[in-house]
Amino acid sequence: MGYRVVVAGATGNVGREMLNILAEREFPIAELAAVASARSQGDQIEFGETGKMLKVQNIEHFDWSGWDIALFAIGSDATKIYAPIAAAAGCTVIDNSSLYRMEPDVPLIVPEVNPEAIDGYKARNIIANPNCSTAQMVVALKPLHDAATIKRVVVSTYQSVSGAGKAGMDELFEQSRNIFVGDPAEPKKFTKQIAFNVIPHIDKFLDDGFTKEEWKMVVETKKIMDPKVKVTATCVRVPVFVGHSEAINIEFEKELSAEDAQKILREAPGVMLVDKREDGGYVTPVECVGEFATYVSRVREDPTVDNGLVLWCVSDNLRKGAALNAVQIAELLGRRHLKKA
Ligand SMILES: NC(=O)c1ccc[n+]([C@@H]2O[C@H](COP(=O)([O-])OP(=O)(O)OC[C@H]3O[C@@H](n4cnc5c(N)ncnc54)[C@H](OP(=O)(O)O)[C@@H]3O)[C@@H](O)[C@H]2O)c1
């Protein structure tokens, strides 16, 4: 007994993680299809570490009828073409691109935060997965918001190159190697050298001087958690392969001590508190790779505002930021709405 599941973008960073996570979590699968562009047609791809090989199918010729769930990770342009076709054929699309996130009739879901919003999926048969930086932040913020009502958040991100797809990871690897051997390190995917550098620019610039990545953190947090919460973000690309980090300053309506916040976070779904206030007593991105949790460290009171806290938050951007959250949405959809074949 299980569902007929399609992974679209199965050859990409997020798609491969989706296959790993479906296998790791023993998602009930009756049949599984791996789909990507014509470039990958016929390639073999492993279903997690099960040893089972899947032949990649060309999305252009894929017949979506009879499939229950499609996990999409193919970018906005291709999603615009294929998601409506899949949804119209009766296959519920769980999409990782930014295309549908702010559509009012498409639910934007982080299962630990707003699971009940999934019930609105029937309007379009599409569910959106948030931006990677938003997903991990709201997992950490929601239990604190429930306890003391967040008024304002100031977040600075330290985002890994895998957030820019396979090409981003290749660029960091090649530039690092070229610099070591004295070869030129020309930027291609990123706007400036990423190896041994940081770049305060992710996605395109908007008229107000913020970038689209920063705007996404603002509007997605409001849609998922609470429209009254004010957010201001600075998003920065750093030379880390996998794992996004965030320094988050939070202002609450009510008083919340660091100790009480730690207690709440220790019990919160999806959160792992590692906060020892000693050398190495916090989590860094390399330690969160391949993990499910959103790690929170360095919880402390901010003496410069009333009811302020500061914390450090780290998660695997390919997992909670994309593939894991999408699979959790599929699990939620199954529990609440779908019948197993
Ligand atoms: N990386 C992250 O942290 C993250 C987080 C949240 C959301 N996302 C979103 O997830 C999506 C995928 O990101 P990624 O990091 O996995 O990128 P990626 O590593 O570059 O992989 C892109 C995938 O999309 C497929 N694809 C590209 N154009 C296509 C087309 N016209 N038709 C069908 N398939 C096509 C590719 O297939 P081929 O191999 O055949 O080219 C590949 O499987 C993007 O929308 C991204 O914004 C990524």
The fold adopted by the segment(s) 3-129+322-336 is Rossmann fold (3.40.50)
Classify residue 206 by its DSSP letter.
P
**302-337 pLDDT per residue, tens:** 999 999 999 999 999 999 999 999 999 999 999 999
CA distances from 328 to 153, 207, 247, 297 (A): 26, 35, 25, 24
Q: Which two structure tokens, joined as six digits, stand for 279? A: 């050398």
Question: What are the extents of the domains in the chain?
Answer: 3-129+322-336, 133-317
- Please check whether the domain covering 133-317 is classified as CATH 3.30.420.40: no
- Hey, CA dihedral for 214, 219, 225, 227, is it positive or negative? positive
User: What is the pLDDT, as a whole number, of residue 108?
Assistant: 98
Is there an atom of ligand 1 within 6 Å of 321 CB?
A: yes
- Percent of the residues in the chain that have a pLDDT greater than 90, as a whole number: 97
CA distances from 195 to 159, 199, 204, 244 (A): 13, 10, 21, 16
- Say yes or no to pLDDT of 188 above 80: yes
Query: Edge to edge, what strands does the sheet with 230-237 contain?
Result: 230-237, 150-159, 244-252, 308-315, 294-301, 271-273
User: What is the pLDDT, as a whole number, of residue 339?
Assistant: 75
| Residue 18 CB partners (closer than 8 Å, separation 6+) | 7, 10, 71, 73, 323, 326, 327
Among protein residues, the one whose CA lies closest to atom 14 of ligand 1: 165
Among protein residues, the one whose CA lies closest to atom 3 of ligand 1: 163
Phi, psi of 266 (to 5 degrees): -60, -30
Catalytic residues, which ones? 132, 244
How far is residue 51's CA from residue 60's CA, in Å, rounded to a whole number?
27
Is there an atom of ligand 1 within 6 Å of 125 CB?
A: no
Among protein residues, the one whose CA lies closest to atom 33 of ligand 1: 37
Classify residue 138 by its DSSP letter.
H
Closest CA to 247 of 140, 118, 174: 140
Is there an atom of ligand 1 within 6 Å of 168 CB?
A: no
Closest CA to 235 of 207, 189, 203: 203
Name the one residue in this structure whose structure tokens are 């769930």: 69
Q: Following CA atoms 262, 263, 267, 269 in sequence, which dihedral angle do they give, to the nearest 10 degrees?
A: -30
**85-115 pLDDT per residue, tens:** 999 999 999 999 999 999 999 999 999 999 9
Q: Residue 150's pLDDT band (boundaries 50, 70, 90)?
A: very high
CA distances from 194 to 69, 153, 180, 185, 236 (A): 37, 27, 14, 9, 11
184 annotated as belonging to a binding site for a ligand: yes
Q: Which two structure tokens, joined as six digits, stand for 20? A: 């790993």
Is there an atom of ligand 1 within 6 Å of 160 CB?
A: no
Is there an atom of ligand 1 within 6 Å of 285 CB?
A: no
User: What is the pLDDT, as a whole number, of residue 124?
Assistant: 98
Task: Compute, in angstroms, the gap from residue 280 CA to the centroid of ligand 1.
Answer: 35
Task: Compute, in angstroms, the gap from residue 189 CA to the centroid of ligand 1.
Answer: 14
User: Helix, strand, coil % (nearest 5) of the chain?
Assistant: 35, 25, 40
CA distances from 38 to 35, 41, 200 (A): 9, 5, 34
How far is residue 96's CA from residue 76's CA, in Å, rounded to a whole number?
9
- Hey, CA dihedral for 133, 138, 140, 145, is it positive or negative? positive
Q: Residue 338's pLDDT band (boundaries 50, 70, 90)?
A: confident
